[in-house]
Amino acid sequence: MNLSAIDQLWLLTCSGLLLLMQAGFLCLEAGLTRSKNAVNVALKNLVDLTLTPLVYVAVGAGLMFGASWSGFIGNPLAFGDGLSGGFATFLLFQTLFCASATTIVSGAVAERIRIGAYVAICGLIAAVVYPLVGHWAWGGVWSGGPGWLNAIGFDDFAGSGVVHVTGGFAALAGAIAVGPRLGRFSRQRAAKGFPKNNLPLAMLGAMLLAVGWVGFNGGSTLGFNESVGLVVLNTMMAGAAGGAASLGFCRLRGPVVSPEVVINGLLAGLVAICASANVATPSSAVLVGVCASFAATAAASLLARWRVDDVVGAFPVHGVGGLVGLLMQPIAPGAEGGISEFVIQAIGGVVIAVTSFVPIFVLLAFAMPKSWVRVTPHEERLGLNLSEHGIESDLQTLRRSLALANRAPHADAIRVDEADDAGALAAALHERVSQAFHDGEATTTAELMSQHATELRGYGEFLLAVLDGVDLQICILDENGKIVETNSTWDKFAYSAGVGDQARVGAGFEELYRAGKIYDQRSAEQIVEAVTRIAGGGGPSFHTECLVQLPDDERCFEVKVRPLPAHERGAVIVTQLDRTQERQAQELILQEKHKAERLADALEASQAALDLAMKGADLGRWHWDVATGYFELSTDWLERIGIEEFSFHPDISTLRNLLPPEDLTIWTPEDAASVADGKPYDRQFRLRRPDGSYRWVQVLGRAVSMTPQGAPECLTGILIDIDARKSAEMRDAGMAKIIEESNKLLFVCDPKTKQFLEVNRGARENLGYSLEELRGMTPYDITPADLHADVDKRIADILSGKTARKDFETMHVRRDGTTYPALLNVQTARLLDRDVLVAIGSDVTQQRELERQLADARRLESIGQLAAGVAHEMNTPLQFVENNIEFLQQCSGAWFEVFRAFEGLLDPMAPPQSWRDRQLEIRDLLKRVHFDHIREETPKAIADCHEGVHRVLQIVRAMKDFSHPGEQRHTLTDLNRGLSSTVTVTRNRWKMAGELTLDLDPDLPHVECQGGAINQVFVNLIVNAADAVIERREHDPLAPAGLITVRSFTEGAEAVFEFTDNGSGMPEDVRRRAFDPFFTTKEVGKGTGQGLSLSHSIVVKNHGGAIDVETKPFAGTTLRVRLPLKQPRSRDASLHKHPLEHVMI
């Protein structure tokens, strides 16, 4: 098997897509597992990509594609280092197929298998299982004999069985041998679902797999051929149908749509179509996808019922989906369907399944100790990220930190890594809990102190009662509620309130609080009730606050009622304390507190909005203490640009370690000093990411504090990710350089003044002007004067919007006065916020020379063909004339002999007897020379000679008309006559094809054209028609007799010449390229095959006409040549002065 360059390029492209599938498997499996195992799952996918190629190329490739030993296994030593380019490409493609088969196992045994056991699985599949199965089904694809499955008729186009059934049943063996995850199934056999790490990531993985499947199935054609498009379309249709079917199944089952079911339905459809993508139709591909989706969904339910823990559904998707694809392959429209084929496919599927299942199950269940295969329960609960790789997830960090806080609830701080989000969150929670604990302790202490102070105050009030001038208003009552004693503060209050009589000594207490009407009614009733109760010896002290209405103000008083110590039973002391100012202060404090809380809420909302806006704008915050080197940076912004938070410590040296050598002059104290005068800190630099790549960043900031010496002390600002912008700028600069350095012609003009704005180097060198000189010139300065009107019209059409772009050919005048033909594409564009005219093209001098040489070759070819045909046509009548002349020559002797005999009768001196003898001799002579026959045939022979000479004269006249020297100037020409002459001189070509019917419009006017060139077009089209008829009869002996019809007629202002044949026709791809220069379908030695290309050039470019094609394979072709009856004067003048085409015989 040999691969062409384009086939190798296609396989390499598909190999790149297969690598993308590895990324898809990684995203899918990491997203569907728990976060504590995501790193382990991702690493297993990386192991696939590192181990599988080494093992497969070293061992597996020979077993799979080496010389077959009885169709069972290949030669493992078949391939060394000396590989051809084609086989190396093929081997790369097959290696990535093997990697796809091994990585399927990873998801099924995730979250509990040790990395060492998984390495053993990969090695066994890549070295033995996959090559063995592949040899049976695909052996002999590159060289050697076929495998035994292939030999009996097993057909697996792109690996539904070889790749997916192999990987799926190996995954099933692994899941059974390793066992389910802890807690996956209860004793009642109910399956418990676990939270997924990241379902959007899993869905991204499914989409990456769908993209990679284009290369998976498209590359299985092993070449870039016409079947690739159908294969890729069938692939996408099956995947789409599988996803849609699973979506519908979810809706039928309930209101909840499971993303996992939809993902597995999509992938099952893609898996199933692999077997028949090359023979299926889009509609049958949809059926395959739907069936595979339902089968995979049912298989997933059965696995859960049977307590088989397949984490990502690898077996339902790949194992069951692959079997469905194999069994449905015979029903594809392009397959050789039948019961026997179905049985063969079933046998192949069973053989592959058993061969894949048994070795993996034996390896894990019997060959390896259990401790080597599965992690311990403790390790599984911790998660394989931590137990296998020492990597702690955010949730695990949070849980550990909170556990520390629970063990030390009264501690002021706990040790956490605040560079980690989870650690920082745990620290914040502990700080809040600690604060709440201290607040509770303070509250309890305050209450106890308040209680003790109250008791002490009760004992001390008696002393205070005898003191005057204190702020406390004191009134002592007896057991009857009469006032017995007051202090001066009480008296001042009573008189200022207008209740002096009610508050004097001896007055009843009820008179003050009820009749005085200065207390609010509710408080007055409570105070009176408390006095009555305490005076009667029942109940504890009473305390309240009430409003007291003074003549000019309303005050707030604290009133306390309690028994009087050291007095007889029933004495009561009542105290009042004006709390108005205190309460007003408290109210003001409360208002300020509420205001502060609202302000804090607003500030928090603003901060959240700012964070959201900065995140949406891809901005990050930073703060730099220049003196200490402390540097703080938004961690979420670091993550967005791909830098792990834990790798960035809050120090300026960490940032500088991420800079390339050329940027180490920034982020230094000397660099910070440059903003001492209030200038902004504006820098652009690159940050190195963990993978070694760099990302462009812009920093904007200002100094927020200065040292006494005026140097910046602290700077703060924002970071902007400008990588996309810088990449675009560099890409634009690179593109501008490419355009500038290109040998193509590029002109940019002002649409109003028509002056050149930019001209690339290729155009400048071609014209011989500098850029400064050209910027003061217009297109008219580099175009011959007689073409200015044509250029002006084309530019006007574009500026008016009549055409979006214009392709045309013109002439350019160099600085030295020489000219060259230029083919330009002119269109409007937007450049630097202004409208411009852009012309892109090339100097086509060499192309025109090649076309001229091609035309000469075609002309010589036509002359040779016509000369042979004309010689043959003239030979027949000339041979006929020659034969008749030979006959007349033979008869001339008899004629002369008879004439001499008759001359003897005319001799007057001859005796009569002699005259009678002469008569008898003449009679004998006439009989002897068969004079009657000669007399009868001679006129016919003369007439035949005349007819033959006339036929030769006809051919000579036709040749004279046809070979009349063509002029570049257009002249009025009788094309009916030219077409008749063409038919005559080409008769030797078309008569071998069949009949030619000539239907010419007698009223066809003379056409303004180049007669010789148009005659060449007629020759090309008649010869092509004859060749097409002959080709069809060669391929189909039962095809109808050849028929060529040539017509002429007028349509409007055009003369139309129609050439119809019932030949082989043209396929669509040939029809699209029929008029392309240098495109031909003729074999080497059968002509240049450029007739249609040259004809199109003559008709379209030289005459402003058109050639229409209607064709159908094996049904015939109709070509219509449309020529304007009159040519514009500018075209004739242009072609005469600046010839671009010379095609004539």
Share of the chain above pLDDT 90, in %: 33
Which tokens hold the place of 837? 């005219």
Confidence of residue 432 (pLDDT cuts 50, 70, 90): low
Give, in order, the Cα–Cα distances in Å from 58 to each of 52, 135, 1057: 10, 16, 67
pLDDT digits (tens, 9 = 90+) for 230-282: 999 999 999 999 999 999 998 888 788 999 999 999 999 999 999 999 999 99
Question: Which residue did the predictor score with more confidence, 524 or 379?
Answer: 379
> Which uninterrupted H or E stretch holds 1109?
strand 1106-1112
For residue 785, count other CB atoms closer than 10 A to its CB: 8
> C-alpha angle 980/984/986, rounded to 5°?
115
CA distance 1068 to 1061: 17
- What type of residue sits at position 370? K
pLDDT at 880: 62
- The DSSP secondary-structure symbol of 36 reads G
List Cα–Cα distances, 566 to 120, 463, 819, 935, in angstroms.
96, 11, 133, 189
Per-residue pLDDT, 98: 97
Q: Is the pLDDT of residue 122 over 70?
A: yes
788-814 confidence digits (pLDDT tens): 888 888 888 888 877 766 677 889 999
Neighbours of 91 (CB within 10 A): 18
Give residue 725's pLDDT. Answer: 82
Type of residue found at 927: K
Give residue 444's pLDDT band: very low, low, confident or very high (50, 70, 90).
very low
Q: What is the pTM of this model?
A: 0.43
Helix (H) or strand (E) holding 1008: strand 1007-1009
Q: Which has more pLDDT, 784 or 896? A: 784
Left (φ > 0), alpha (ψ -120 to 50) or beta: where does 44 sit? alpha
Neighbours of 457 (CB within 10 A): 14
Measure the CA–CA gap between 120 and 174, rounded to whole angstroms: 12
For range 893-918, the mean pLDDT: 71
pLDDT recorded at residue 413: 47
Is pLDDT at 287 greater than 60 in this prediction?
yes
CB 1078 within 8 A of CB 858: no
Q: Contact, 114 vs 305, CB < 8 A?
A: no
pLDDT in tens, 356-375: 999 999 999 999 999 999 99
Q: Which two tokens stand for residue 435?
A: 């604060």
The residue whose two tokens read 């003239």 is 874
- Residue 461, pLDDT above cutoff 50: no
Q: Please write down the HEC assignment for all residues of 868-931.
A: HHHHHHHHHHHHHHHHHHHHHHHHHHHHHHHHHHHHHHCCCCCCHHHHHHHHHHHHHHHHHCCH
CB 188 within 8 A of CB 14: no
Rounded Cα–Cα distance for residues 627 and 672 (Å): 11
Distance CA 603, CA 619 (A): 19
Residue where the block lists tokens 């392309």: 1076
CA–CA separation, 400 and 99 (whole Å) = 38
Q: How far apart, in Å, are the Cα atoms of 230 and each of 225, 227, 267, 269, 332?
A: 10, 5, 19, 16, 13
Confirm if 1137 and 784 have CB atoms less than 8 A apart.
yes
Q: Once rounded to an integer, what is the mean pLDDT over residues 25-33?
A: 95
CB 89 within 8 A of CB 77: no
Cβ atoms of residues 1050 and 1058 within 8 Å: no
Give phi and psi for 420, each to the nearest 5: -105, 135
Q: Give the phi and the psi of residue 1058 in degrees, each rounded to 5.
A: -110, 130
pLDDT at 1135 over 60: no
**In whole numbers, what is the pLDDT of the chain averaged over residues?**
82
pLDDT confidence band for 1141 (50 / 70 / 90): very low
Residue 513 pLDDT exceeds 80:
no
3-state secondary structure 283-346: HHHHHHHHHHHHHHHHHHHHHHHCCCCCCCCHHHHHHHHHHHHHHHHHHCCCCCCCHHHHHHHH
In this predicted model, what pLDDT tens digit does every residue of 463-479 receive, in sequence order? 444 445 457 888 888 87
State CA 397 to chain mean position distance. Answer: 38
Does residue 511 surpass a pLDDT of 90? no
pLDDT at 463: 44
Decide if 223 contacts 273 (C-beta within 8 A): no
CA-atom Rg of the chain in angstroms: 53
pLDDT, tens digit, 9 for 90 and up, residues 703-715: 888 887 778 888 8
Which residues on neighbouring strands pair with residue 5, listed in sequence order? none
Query: Which amino acid is present at 159?
Result: G
> Could you give the CA distance from residue 94 to residue 222 in angstroms, rounded to a whole number?
11
The length of the chain is 1145
Q: Which residue has the higher pLDDT, 761 or 128?
A: 128
Q: Identify the pLDDT of residue 238.
A: 97
Instruction: Check residue 874 and give its pLDDT.
Output: 67
pLDDT digits (tens, 9 = 90+) for 580-619: 888 888 888 888 888 878 877 777 776 666 666 666 656 7
Task: Tokens for 1012, please give them.
Answer: 């010789």
In terms of Cβ atoms closer than 10 Å to its own Cβ (0-12, 13-18, 19+), residue 846 is: exposed
Token representation of residue 1141: 């085409």
Residue 252 is predicted with a pLDDT of 87
CA–CA distance, 49 with 26 (Å, rounded to integer) = 11
In degrees and rounded to multiples of 5, residue 767 shows phi and psi of -85, -25
**C-alpha to C-alpha distance for 841 and 759, rounded to whole angstroms:** 12
